[in-house]
Amino acid sequence: MEKLFIKSYKKYGYLWIYKNEIVSDIEKLDPGSLAKIYEQKTKKFIGVGYINPKSTIAVRLLSFKNEEINIDFLRNRIKKALEYRENILGLKDSYRVIYSESDFLPGLIVDKYSNCIVIQVLTAGIENFKDEIIKVIDEIFDPKIIVLRNDSQSRLKEGLKIERKIVKGDLKELPVITEIDMKFKVDPIHGQKTGFFLDQRENRVFLRNLINAGQGVDLFCYTGAWGLHLAKTGATVIGIDSSEYAIKLARENAELNNLTERCSFVKADVFDFLRWEIKKDKKYDFVIADPPAFVKSKEEKSDAIEGYITLNSLLLKLLKKDGILATSSCSHHISDEDFFEIIKEAFRRSKKYGKILYQGTQSRDHPILTTMPETKYLKCLIIKLFD
């Protein structure tokens, strides 16, 4: 294992070490190779991590102990993460098992969808342990299906290939998960992310407990989770998404839950749909918007902010005077404060005002590490309009 020195370590519990902080020469080291990290001046041991000289984040720490990184280490980490989800959160059927840095396994995502496990490897350091991770996951969960969903663009920056493959079982029948009393089909190969938006679970539940009647729209609906929950409680919902495949799955999920009479789905561009409805002066009791990330880098932030303001201004035009808006942003570069200012500006431009009923973030199986603010990304506001 390599021995590397850094200038200083002032961010206790922070798992990233940037290239400009490293004193040692790392250019000839293999991406993903392990190293012990020390502070140059004090010679104090910092931790064990893996290296990628090609990345701005040159080291990602795996442990603050001087220990071996092997299959036993991985097994222990995964079991601790599982204990948190099952014993503390009470989750059994479907949840995020491993959330990268938040579970001290940076570069690894593992999602459980009933009897299917989806593994996402994002970095060269985790790629080197891919076989061991698959073995441990199979040993602990004994799932019928294991899928490698390694299609994140971040892999290219790590020098890794893009791949999607099934390493155990088959997907002749898609896994079906349970959320409260709802059933949802999940496609871990062709679906978005790893197949489902587990991170919005707690936000969906709050909205479901709030709305039990009326007519509304679920924008960027994907496979229909938000809208179907509300249809279950008595509302009528139209889901809109630009993906034909997502709409197909959403319709199947409506059938699965016997909700086809109260929930319909339309393939359309969301912005086009909004403008059509506004032109018709259509008004709804509630509007839900869970868009994809508008910003991937700091350089795109100002344009993204304007995009979010435009979207939310259009949403407000669709609402009745006492309507409810549920709006989200999953853009990491948009902070809670940014998102509040976005919504405030949208209300100002629309000459409306409302009261925040709920401010949410990602579900607790996507934990936020106190020492790493980067682990927080999801913002959700549920707002009631007032005259």
355-375 residue pLDDT tens: 999 999 999 999 999 999 999
**Half-sphere exposure (Cβ direction) of 100: Cα atoms closer than 13 Å:** 18
Average pLDDT of the residues in 166-185: 97
Q: What is the pLDDT of residues 298-339, one digit of tens each?
A: 778 888 899 999 999 999 999 999 999 999 999 988 999 999
Model pLDDT, residue 387? 73
**Which tokens in the block code for residue 170?**
């088959």
Report how far Cα 189 is from the mean position of its chain's Cα atoms. 16
Nearest CA to 345 out of 383, 295, 305, 373 is that of 305
Torsion of CA 193, 196, 197, 201, to 10 degrees: -160
Q: What angle do CA 343, 271, 319 make, to 5 degrees?
A: 55
β-sheet bridge partners, residue 50: 34, 60
d(CA 143, CA 255): 26
% pLDDT > 90, the chain: 92
Average pLDDT of the residues in 228-254: 98
242: pLDDT confidence band, cut at 50, 70 and 90?
very high
277: pLDDT confidence band, cut at 50, 70 and 90?
very high
d(CA 233, CA 235): 6
Average pLDDT of the residues in 122-130: 97
| CA Rg value for the chain | 22
228: pLDDT confidence band, cut at 50, 70 and 90?
very high
**Residue with structure tokens 């250019």?**
27
Q: What is the mean pLDDT of the chain?
A: 96
Q: What is the pLDDT of residues 84-119, one digit of tens each?
A: 999 999 999 999 999 999 999 999 999 999 999 999
Model pLDDT, residue 301? 87
Model pLDDT, residue 10? 83
Model pLDDT, residue 314? 97
Torsion of CA 379, 227, 254, 273, to 10 degrees: -100
294: pLDDT confidence band, cut at 50, 70 and 90?
confident
Average pLDDT of the residues in 157-165: 93
Q: Is the pLDDT of residue 220 over 80?
A: yes
**Residues 283, 325 contacting (CB under 8 angstroms):** no
Model pLDDT, residue 233? 96
